[in-house]
Amino acid sequence: MIPKLIAQRVALGILLLLAVSVLIFVGTNLLPGDVAQSILGQAATPLALDNLRKEMGLYDPAYVRYFHWLFGILQGDLGTALTTKLAIATSIKERLWNTLFLAFWAAIVAVPLAVVLGLLGVRYHNGPIDKAISGVALALTSLPEFFIGYLLVYFFAVKFQIFPGISMIYDGMPFLDRMKAIALPCTALTLGILAHMMRMTRAAILNVMQSAYIETAELKGLTAFEIIRNHAFPNAIAPIINVVILNLAYLVVGVVVVEVIFVYPGMGQYLVDHVAKRDVPVVQAVGLIFAAVYIFLNVVADVASILPNPRLRHPR
């Protein structure tokens, strides 16, 4: 039964990714203006424009260009950047690693902190600590990431000059220097997902705390900390894992704004740079990679929520 459920979710994820690939291709081809003209400039001759359009296959029907692009991706060929004439896969490799490096350290900080704050909120439910944590979480949820990023730059890079405002990293960079470079963008990402994970952790555990066996544990004389640690938290772990994975998906895909603010050499910055240049193959490739990561982590979250729950494994 479990392998069948996993296979169904994976199949749905693949179908969804195919549908997203169609939307990405159609969306990039509906952009206004002439791609060849934007690449060659206004001074380009009609012959040069005609040759570039033939080279790019712009005279072919849209469905032919889509399947040519899709089959190339299935073979590991993401295409060639129009502006640099370099293989997109080669250019993306290092930037993808940089983005995953940033997301990894943001997750390392955000996930344990969110769980601990959620547990504290439950332990001191409706008390001053719980209200303070909930208030800060609500404030963070209300602030967009770009605003948090600019605040961090102003205070820690401009005013106090503790961390660099531009997060440049490179191969061979010492680990401590690399960590100092990503401190501000990592903090911005952490604050962006911390509040949601903390509030969902708190809600999941409070929901379990209403169960009858929790009342039994209270009648046995167990302390609130023991009840939460030994009974409530283990039974609330499935929805917490689901929330964590969904936030990790958002973390990897939502780095675009943060990378642009801090000029971080990752996938988001790479995407924005080539959107400005109307480099359609790069936009398509990066968009599809982001979609694949998001869908994959959502499938993992779906499976993680089904496995520990017998009612979802056996809906009848």
In the predicted model, what is the mean pLDDT of residues 292-312? 79
* Cβ–Cβ < 8 Å for 162, 274: no
Residue 154: what pLDDT?
Answer: 94
As given in the structure block, the two tokens for residue 17 are 């990714």
Give which of 192, 292, 305 is closest to 245, Cα–Cα. 305
Residue 314: what pLDDT?
Answer: 61
As given in the structure block, the two tokens for residue 89 are 């896969």
In whole angstroms, what is the distance from residue 236 CA to residue 122 CA? 12
Neighbours of 17 (CB within 10 A): 16
Is the pLDDT assigned to residue 63 strictly greater than 80?
Answer: yes
Orientation angle between helical segments 183-208 and 233-253, nearest 10 degrees? 150
Q: What is the pLDDT of residues 68-88, one digit of tens each?
A: 889 989 888 888 887 788 889
* Cβ–Cβ < 8 Å for 122, 224: no
In the predicted model, what is the mean pLDDT of residues 123-152? 89
Q: What is the pLDDT of residues 155-214, one digit of tens each?
A: 999 999 999 989 988 888 999 999 999 999 999 999 988 988 998 888 888 888 888 888
As given in the structure block, the two tokens for residue 201 are 């952790």
Opening angle at CA 235, ends 229 and 241, nearest 5: 100
Q: Which CATH number fits the domain 99-277, given the four candidates 1.10.3720.10, 1.20.1250.20, 3.20.20.60, 1.10.275.30?
A: 1.10.3720.10
Residue 8: what pLDDT?
Answer: 86
In whole angstroms, what is the distance from residue 102 CA to residue 247 CA? 14
